[in-house]
């Protein structure tokens, strides 16, 4: 039986990615987060196949940085009430930057 969705990533590959992106995010007091998330999405997509076609993530940290800063400020000044809207903006950016390779 053919599988429509296949994920081929390894735990060690993802662990290494989490380690270096987390270290850089901590060192930069969170400013590296958009780049860290972009790297993680690139790894996930490069290991995901839909009906035999590999996914590709084209987003960049810089491409999301200013939008992420606005979301962060709005979540902070609304004491978290903006979180659902920020999450949807985040997912929209993620989806718009995911395509077939």
The predicted pLDDT at position 1 comes to: 67
The predicted pLDDT at position 96 comes to: 98
Give 54's strand partners.
49
The predicted pLDDT at position 3 comes to: 83
How confident is the chain (101 residues) per 10-residue block, as mean pLDDT?
A: 90 98 98 97 98 97 96 97 97 97 92
Give 55's strand partners.
100
The predicted pLDDT at position 2 comes to: 75
The predicted pLDDT at position 49 comes to: 98
């Amino acid at each position: 039986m053919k599988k429509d969705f296949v994920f081929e990533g390894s735990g060690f590959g993802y662990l290494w990615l989490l380690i270096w992106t987390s270290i850089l995010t901590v060192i930069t007091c969170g400013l590296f987060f958009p780049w860290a998330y972009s790297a993680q999405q690139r790894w996930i997509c490069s290991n995901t196949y839909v009906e035999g076609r590999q996914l590709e993530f084209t987003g960049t940290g810089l491409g999301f940085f200013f939008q992420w800063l606005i979301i962060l400020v709005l979540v902070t000044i609304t004491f978290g009430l903006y979180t659902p809207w920020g999450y949807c903006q985040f997912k929209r950016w993620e989806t718009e930057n995911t395509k077939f390779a």
